[in-house]
């Protein structure tokens, strides 16, 4: 069972999302909230598998809430669901380590996205994917760490959103070897998760 906390300042949206999610027998919504402050407290109380929340929620944003949660729970899985595909929001969300960024209009994508991030993947709506390259390269390329061709191949696969099994199949490696490469890359690039590896790829490697 995947336990999901839903937070949005629109009460109709939270109730609708709860109904949509609990249609799937693999998902349970133990609580809903309506502010960034509630997002933090509900996460601490329920320790959900996934926190699904809006960005703009009054004085504090969902990104503010995510930052607070990550300070004590760095492995938290946060999926942002918003009507705003603002470049600065996307950049900041990626930098702090959220696992996904979806646009509210694409309700059919929500359940698959929750299942994907629960398995460790990163998920971004089509509108966001189309912006990633330009957003992450706006400040120019600053590649200062030398990577092997294989390490760059692994990074590319991660940036495409593939999981370890898919990477192993694509590159004809064992899953254990893929895990080792990813662990080495995390240490080498001094980043904490796959999302940060994807960001590094887009900023420094993608032609």
Q: Please state, in angstroms and rounded to a whole number, the distance separating the CA atoms of residues 48 and 45.
A: 9
Does residue 140 or residue 80 have the better pLDDT?
80
E-assigned strands of the chain? 2-7, 27-33, 50-53, 56-57, 60-61, 78-82, 100-103, 123-124
pLDDT on residue 77: 94
First to last CA, the chain: 41
> Do 6 and 18 touch, CB atoms closer than 8 A?
yes
CATH number belonging to domain 143-204? 1.10.10.10
Q: What percent of the chain has pLDDT over 70?
A: 88
Cα Rg of the chain (Å, integer)? 17
Going by pLDDT thresholds of 50, 70 and 90, the confidence category of residue 142 is very low
Which pLDDT belongs to residue 108? 80
pLDDT in tens, 2-60: 999 999 999 999 999 999 999 999 999 999 999 999 999 999 999 999 999 999 888 89
Model confidence at 207, in pLDDT bands (50, 70, 90)? low
What DSSP character marks residue 108?
A: G
Average pLDDT score, the chain:
85
Mean pLDDT over 98-126 rounds to 84
Contact 54, 172 (CB under 8 A): no
Tens digit of each residue's pLDDT (9 = 90 or more) over 63-96: 999 999 998 888 899 999 877 667 778 778 877 8
Q: Strand, helix or coil at 51?
A: strand
Same fold, 2-136 and 143-204: no
Residue 114: both structure tokens together: 């929750």
What is residue 131's DSSP assignment? Answer: H
Alpha carbons 207 and 190: distance in angstroms, whole number: 22
* 192-202 per-position pLDDT tens digit: 888 888 888 88
pLDDT confidence tier of residue 144, bands split at 50, 70 and 90: low
Number of other residues whose CB lies within 10 A of the CB of residue 179: 14
d(C-alpha 132, C-alpha 127), whole Å:
9
Q: What is the residue extent of each domain of the chain?
A: 2-136, 143-204
pLDDT at 102 over 80: yes
Q: How many angstroms separate the CA atoms of 12 and 202, rounded?
A: 37
Task: Please count the CA atoms within 13 angstroms of the CA of 156 that sit on its side-chain side.
Answer: 12
Fold entry, domain 2-136: Rossmann fold (3.40.50)
In the prediction, which pLDDT does 30 show? Answer: 97
């Amino acid at each position: 069972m995947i336990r999901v906390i839903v937070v949005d300042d629109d009460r109709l949206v939270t109730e609708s999302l709860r109904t949509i999610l609990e249609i799937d027998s693999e998902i349970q919504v133990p609580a809903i909230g309506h502010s960034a402050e509630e997002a933090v407290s509900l996460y601490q109380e329920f320790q959900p598998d996934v926190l699904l929340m809006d960005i703009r929620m009054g004085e504090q944003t969902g990104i503010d809430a995510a930052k607070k949660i990550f300070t004590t729970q760095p492995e938290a899985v946060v999926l942002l669901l918003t009507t705003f595909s603002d470049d600065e929001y996307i950049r900041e969300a990626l930098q702090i380590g959220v696992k996904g960024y979806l646009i509210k209009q694409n309700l059919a994508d929500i359940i698959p996205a929750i299942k994907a991030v629960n398995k460790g993947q990163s998920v971004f709506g089509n509108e966001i994917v189309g912006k990633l390259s330009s957003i992450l390269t706006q400040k120019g390329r600053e590649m200062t760490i030398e990577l092997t061709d294989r390490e760059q191949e692994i990074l590319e696969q991660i940036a495409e959103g593939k999981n370890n099994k898919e990477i192993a199949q694509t590159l004809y490696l064992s899953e254990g070897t893929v895990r080792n490469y990813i662990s080495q890359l995390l240490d080498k690039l001094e980043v904490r998760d796959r999302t940060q590896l994807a960001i590094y790829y887009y900023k420094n490697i993608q032609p």
